[in-house]
Amino acid sequence: MFTIDSLSFKRHFRVPLVSTAIGDRILPFVWAYAGHSFWLKMNTFIAQPAVTYMRDSLLLVDGVDALFESNVMAVPNIKVTEFDADNDGIADFLNFTIRVPLNQFDYVRRVRLAMFLRYDLDSVARMTMQSAILIDESTPSSASSLFVNADLKILIRTKLDLTSPSTWNSPRAINQPLNIHGRIKYAKDVYLYRPSIMEVLKFGWIQYLSYFALVYTISRFIFTWAIRSGVVRSHVIVDVLPKQDGFRGHVF
């Protein structure tokens, strides 16, 4: 006799629902929750703000001189230019040059500069504010120029801050004006925010699925071994022939 066809019958092992639920569903949740990162309370993102110079500034120059003690006011010449290096519509840095006319016996020891900016953030979190960057530099000797190269950073609840050292040049020639040069880069910054309820649920769901995949793979192997070895009590159900109209069963 020749075998022209074969049909396999499966055996189904049924166990109480509690045992599988604990291994596959509840254990991943407990494991993820025990990691102390299941519920997302705070989150961060990186973005470049849209900063605009408001054409308003305040300059104070201190020193030992006859000019500052007199009633004559020195009018500085200020030039400010903003550049968009990557043509994305957002300024990347700001260059400024300030020339302060001085007399022969003017000695500059300290420069304080405040430049007012508009700060817009339109990303994960939205924020619009007007603030000022503060430059306060001093030197023990009389200087002829000051150069500042800084990155703009935001300090929540305080002010906009500049992070960089400055460079003084001295001595100053007779009647040479004080030159203040600077470049302020509008760099990307890290922002801390409180996530929404949908973001919290999505983050928790990802944590649960990560542990569920691992637990499910291991538990399937353990359950299969335990059931076939008789460690766990189960009910065995064997496939039967389908009963359909016109179906003719074979004789075994």
The predicted-structure confidence for 193-221, as pLDDT tens digits, reads as follows 888 888 888 888 888 888 888 888 887 78
Are residues 92 and 121 located together in one domain of the fold? yes
Full domain range(s) for residue 217: 11-40+195-238
For residue 2, is it within any domain?
no
Mention every residue, 6+ apart, whose C-beta is less than 8 A from residue 169: 143, 144, 145, 146, 147
Domain count of the fold of the chain: 2
- Tens-place pLDDT, residues 118-167: 988 887 778 888 888 888 888 887 788 889 988 888 776 545 666 666 77
Are residues 159 and 230 located together in one domain of the fold? no
- pTM beyond 0.75: no
For residue 250, is it within any domain?
no
Are residues 74 and 142 located together in one domain of the fold? yes
Whole-number Å distance between alpha carbons of 205 and 27: 14
Average pLDDT, the chain: 77
Residues 71-75 have a mean pLDDT of: 63
Tell me the residue type at 134.
Answer: L
Residue ranges of the alpha helices (H) in 16-71? 17-21, 27-34
Mention every residue, 6+ apart, whose C-beta is less than 8 A from residue 175: 102, 103, 104
- Dihedral over Cα of 118, 123, 127, 132: its sign: negative
Q: Which residue has the higher pLDDT, 27 or 88?
A: 88
